[in-house]
A = this chain, B = another copy of it.
């Protein structure tokens, strides 16, 4: 159990914090696409799409691979799964603290041996 969320995957959260980026992830979850193809499916320009893709790539949420003259992007589920696990552990840590507090409030003056 992680005692304290010292180094949170902030880059991943930041990447996930934009609705347009989720649109792109949505599209990429269906099928790999190029930046140009994506820009035709979302209401922003290719340049904007490219920037979003760069953010997602830095967060390791998407990958790229050439296919002829095209550059296809694809989702990377592992990073997302790892983040989910990390969050879960953090939530559990919070919960543990609150449960201990609740125990005190119950009136059980000596909850075992904690100092």
Residues of A at the B interface (CB closer than 8 Å) are 4-6, 8, 10, 13-14, 16-19, 22, 25-26, 29-30, 74-78, 80-81, 83-85, 87-88, 90-95, 97-98
Query: What 4 new A-B contacts, CB under 8 Å, besides A13-B17, A77-B91, A77-B95?
Result: A8-B19, A75-B97, A77-B98, A84-B88
Residues of B within 8 A of A93 (CB): 29
- Copies of this protein in the assembly total 2
B26:A18 contact, CB within 8 angstroms: no
Shortest CB-to-CB span from A65 to chain B, Å, is 13
User: With A10-B17, A22-B10, A88-B84 in contact, is A30–B97 under 8 Å at CB?
Assistant: yes
